[in-house]
Homo-oligomer: A and B are copies of this chain.
């Protein structure tokens, strides 16, 4: 993963720098984070501007993508750098469990194929109460 990342930077004529390696490493540990979390957990990247610039670069070269999960804007590694997955977001405990849903995915792809739509990316999310929270029978 790290080598692929370095290669992608070079392909695009961009340098492999300490800050970028740091940010990439951080993303590999974190799963999905908000920009604010980045700034708060400050990663020895001294300036906000540098962090924003790195994020923008990562988006351009396809290392990260933004998504809106359970109402929050999050940054995540793309499927090229992390296993593809979907999310079950619990509105009570706030967890966003990453899961693999092959049957649902297959149904989606079949649907699109039937309509002539050529999928290159997809997104499936369920929001509600996770098994634990729904056991506790507290509706909110």
Please list the residues of chain A having a beta carbon within 8 angstroms of any beta carbon in chain B: 65-68, 71, 73, 88, 90-91, 99, 101, 103-104, 106-108, 110-112, 115-131, 134-135
Contacts and interface: CB of A to CB of B under 8 A. Distances in A.
A128 B119 contact: yes
A88 B117 contact: yes
B127 A124 contact: no
Contact of A128 (B91, B110, B120): B120
A130 B119 CA distance: 8
B104 A120 contact: no
9 contacts: A68-B68, A106-B107, A108-B124, A108-B126, A115-B131, A116-B130, A116-B135, A117-B128, A120-B127
